[in-house]
Amino acid sequence: MFGSLFSSKTAAHPPAVLLRLHNTLTGTLDEFSPLEPPTVTIYSCGPTVYDFVHIGNLRMYVMWDILKRTLMHFGYEVKHTINLTDFGHLTDDADAGEDKMMKGLRREGLPVTLSAMRQLADIYTKAFKDDTDELRIMPPTTWARASEYVEMQIRLIETLEGKGYTYETTDGVYFDIAKFPAYGKLGNINLEDLRSGARVQVNSEKHHPADFAVWKKGLLGWESKWGKGFPGWHIECSAMAIATLGKQLDIHTGGIDHIHTHHNAEIAQSEAATGKEFARFWLHGEFITIDSTKVSKSLGNGITLRHLRDLGFSGDDYRYWLLTAHYRSPVNFTVEALRAGKQALYRLKRVVFEEYATARPTVHEGYLDRFTAHLGNDLDTPSAVALLWEVVKDTTLTAGEKYGTVLAMDSVLDIGLNDEPDEGVRSLGIVGNSELPPEVQALMADREAARIARNWLEADRLREAINLRGYSVEDTPQGPKITKVTNE
């Protein structure tokens, strides 16, 4: 209900504020406008679905969700693709170390076959989508599974070959970066440094250490004119971006680890094939660290959303905490920091659901303009969240103005303030008297009687008795509130 209240408002009055985004291609904050308004196309590099994703991976998709909702807030329509890497690449220029899908197959005791890869990918694709739902990430227009676009990838390689951008070796087909002089423009890569910095050349048939496989020959995989094998990792993103969004994207996103190799490779392949600029804006998100080490499965600190849930945190708690840091700042994860975020969100939700929700919501334009300006400043979510609190603390606003304004802000931040109030209160663990077990109801009534009789000792004893049954009591101006204790 409130979402529509707000979106009809934005559609009628697109904000006059500028939308500027940090573009890795230029290294500056650039004013954004799409090629074909009102549509904006976004391609986000997705996970390899060989295991549960960790909280660092999830940070990326929360941030791109904010990007998408910000664009909608500015009146645009968004077409978004997230890819799912669902087969191994067995290449030496993907991530260092063992191929992730192979690792997954070994871990689950599955054979090395295409159908086993599919089985593994199905399990972890579902787990990834469940995580994104729990974090209120809007589903993309297209979830692109790499295995469903192999034909497209082969055709793209054939186009590159036809134009003379590739060469064949005994183990595969490689992109010849010397044929693409703009190679390395993202992040200003110096090719000579790459050559001199290269360790022992793993593949002596490669012309340049930075040449990368677009096809890898092998015993397993798909048939092609170069023999059986797999497309390279980078080619899947070029093929799926072009197939689902067209030859030119407005925005391409990924983590900072993708800039040097993966994204420069995507640019080279796509632009060599189409002759057009591939993506006009490149946005990159910084890492989450734990004790200054990046969160990563292979480093053994790959905390997942499931781990957070076991510690008593909800998807909203994690999303709220993420929004308190800017997407281009590295952030250090600690349970204490997340707990502080959880407490802040709890206070926010209680005040919204219990004190504002009975009022008729109206939006305070001044605050909303400031909110829009923060988002327009390269998605400055920490300032946007701070402004939300300013609204809550502003003693000059009516409850209705506060309610309408926080709901409008929440249509971008989506930390659950738009939930139906009774449902929202229940999700905080606050229970109505009638929902309590009879013995707890009786203890509550006795405690009220003791309080009225000013028998504080007895009231405290009864509070303890209620606590022992898994509930906590808090006295508020509206009367006692009872909350189910979580396992945090």
Nearer to ligand AMP, 141 or 289 (CB): 289
Nearer to Zn ion, 68 or 284 (CB): 284
Paired with 39 in beta bridges are: 36, 77
Paired with 228 in beta bridges are: none
Q: Which does residue 210 bind out of Zn ion, ligand AMP, none, counting CB within 5 to 8 angstroms by kind?
A: none
CB of 237: closest distance to Zn ion in angstroms? 3
Burial class (CB in 10 A: 0-12, 13-18, 19+), 432: exposed
Nearer to Zn ion, 65 or 419 (CB): 65
Q: Which does residue 56 bind out of Zn ion, ligand AMP, none, counting CB within 5 to 8 angstroms by kind?
A: ligand AMP
Phi/psi of residue 122, nearest 5 degrees? -60, -45
| Buried-state track 268-277, b at ≥16 Cβ within 10 A, e below 16 | bbbbbbbeee
CB of 146: closest distance to ligand AMP in angstroms? 12
Are 308 and 342 in contact by the 8 Å Cβ rule? The answer is: no
CB of 135: closest distance to ligand AMP in angstroms? 14
Q: Which does residue 237 bind out of Zn ion, ligand AMP, none, counting CB within 5 to 8 angstroms by kind?
A: Zn ion
Nearer to Zn ion, 48 or 166 (CB): 48
From the list 226, 231, 192, the residue with the least C-alpha distance to 210 is 192
> Which residues have a Cβ under 8 Å from the Cβ of 144 and sit 6 or more positions away?
46, 81, 82, 83, 84, 240, 243, 244
CB of 284: closest distance to Zn ion in angstroms? 12
DSSP structure class, residue 36 = B
Provide the binding-site residues for Zn ion, judged by CB under 5 A.
45, 237
Nearer to ligand AMP, 254 or 341 (CB): 254
Nearer to ligand AMP, 96 or 468 (CB): 96
Q: Using only C-alpha atoms, what is the Rg of the chain?
A: 26
In the numeric block, which tokens belong to residue 151? Answer: 């034909």
Q: Which does residue 60 bind out of Zn ion, ligand AMP, none, counting CB within 5 to 8 angstroms by kind?
A: ligand AMP
Provide the binding-site residues for ligand AMP, judged by CB under 6 A.
45, 47-48, 56-57, 59-60, 254-255, 257-258, 287-288, 294-296
How far, in whole angstroms, is CA 321 from its chain's centroid? 13
CB of 236: closest distance to ligand AMP in angstroms? 12
Nearer to ligand AMP, 237 or 243 (CB): 237
CB of 50: closest distance to ligand AMP in angstroms? 8
From the list 48, 73, 50, 41, the residue with the least C-alpha distance to 374 is 73
Residue nearest to ligand AMP as judged by C-beta position: 255
Are 257 and 296 in contact by the 8 Å Cβ rule? The answer is: no
CB of 124: closest distance to ligand AMP in angstroms? 10
